[in-house]
Amino acid sequence: MTVTNWVVTASGLISLFIHIDAGFITYEDARRAVIQAEDALLTGGRLHLNDKEERANEIFMRYKFDELAAGFYDSDVNAAGLHFFKGKPLIDKSNVLKFLKRMPKGANLHMHNSASVSSDWMVRNISYMPGLLRCTNKEGISILSFRRTPREHGCVTQYVLVNEERFRSISPAVYDRSFEKLINLYTPKPDSDYPTIKHVWRKFQNMFSTTGDLLSYIPAFRAYTRRMLEEMYEDNLMYAEVRMSFKELYDYSGRLFPPDRTVSELLVIVEDFRREYPKFWASKRFTQHIAMLNGRVCFSSLKHSNNCKHCIFSIANPDFIIGFDLVGQEDLGKPLHNFVSELADLPKSAKYFFHAGETNWYGASTDFNLLDALLLNTTRIGHGYALMKHPVLWNAVKKRNVAIEVSPISNQVLGLVADLRNHPGSFYMSQNLPMVICNDDPGFWGSKGLSYDFYYAIMSLAPNNAGLKTLKSLVWNSLRYSVLSKQEERVAFEKLENAWDEFISDVLKGKVF
């Protein structure tokens, strides 16, 4: 038996200490064995890189160690330990980020479409569309709409044309900066502006109210959805499973279109995009989404394809249901346990993709959503932030191979963790729990694509010496834990491997930095 084998389990570690005391093994050999055993347990720890990948990893690690060393001696430049709003200017200059932007990242398995597109693009494009109106409701929330006879939305002010407001403002640039604040949580002072989870979640949810009716306007929906695909493609993603509300659409004349029209619009947009960009690969599945609003769940018509108000779609062919989810701030909503009977009544073929454990509480009904999600045989767990506190559950996750959808920046911006080096994702990596890196609502905090979340995954969640093996494992996980069929998965992996080999060659040729 080798020394390393002794330390893989707790009992083996005790045995190792005994052998040290007896003089059968040197202190340094024992120390080395423990480190090697932990490295083997880490996400990607048992992955073997080929010669080219090893050389690419050496290049990547030089840049990673340089940034970590600078941050170790000066906390003001340690982006890995800063709030994203403070660290982003540093990350934008980072060679690690350059590497990650060029790296194929496979799939994004947890993103909400209504917060997926960059706020600056929304300002430059959607806000300049003719006919956009704005009003303010009694809570002080701005409501945007293209309806000629806008719905009430509880507004206490008259609707005004955005283009006229912009014309009457000090300058278009000043107006645009003010407009962007309606749809982006950014602040240079996150600690004081959002002192509690309650404060940041209130503004976060208000932004969905601001854009909800706007995104039901067919021309805006088309442009927005197209841009969502572009931003993923530009960040070297090849596939996505997107949480979405399938709502009634409308046009400028006031005509209304049922949710099925949303499905047909999506099909056209995605297929047109795939023809233009063949590298953007997509599945042939559709998943349906239940949203929890004010403690209620939309269960109506769930047994019928495409008729629920709130849905998820898996790009690109949404014509049969494969799964369901619940969304909303878990701490304020009813626990998943309350809906077990309704969920159990859904089709036997249904797959679940529950948000669960997005909380700092321990032993509350919120974190027990993790237990109910697993008892309901969820396919993946959204966030799973509280999972580390439940050893029986995280062992079940590992044994049953249920992936955790980890969204580092979301968890930080929405108030769960201040320093991402303290994120439970570090524990999930150390135990090689099945996990994927996701971006949740990137448009609402300026983290276009998935590269920024990958930055925190490798710089904050992963140990200092983790590099390409961990990154590659996370990328491969993104397809492994998708809803792709075996045949689709095989084709997707072929495309991913080709893209990965090309990327590694570019790194070695100096084309990335």
Catalytic residue numbers, as ranges: 358, 383
DSSP 3-state assignment of 463?
coil
Question: Which residues are CB-contacts of 169 (< 8 A; sequence separation ≥ 6)?
Answer: 175, 178
Question: Which residues are CB-contacts of 412 (< 8 A; sequence separation ≥ 6)?
Answer: 83, 84, 418, 420, 423, 456
Q: Cα–Cα distances in Å, from 344 out to 27, 110, 349?
A: 56, 23, 11
- Which of 313, 145, 287, 128 lies closest to 229, judged by CA? 313
Q: Is residue 291 within 8 Å of residue 328, measured between CB atoms?
A: yes
CA dihedral over 296, 265, 242, 287, signed as positive or negative: positive
Q: Is residue 282 within 8 Å of residue 315, measured between CB atoms?
A: yes
Question: Taking each helix axis from N to C terminus, what angle separates 468-480 and 51-73, rounded to the nearest 10 degrees?
Answer: 110
Q: Is residue 240 within 8 Å of residue 107, measured between CB atoms?
A: yes
How many other CB atoms sit within 10 Å of the CB of residue 282? 22
How many other CB atoms sit within 10 Å of the CB of residue 375? 12
> Residues for the chain: how many in total?
513
The CA-based angle 390-394-398, given to 5 degrees, is 170
**Burial track 389-416 (b if 16+ CB lie within 10 A, e otherwise):** bbeebbebbeeeebbbbbbbbbbbbbbb
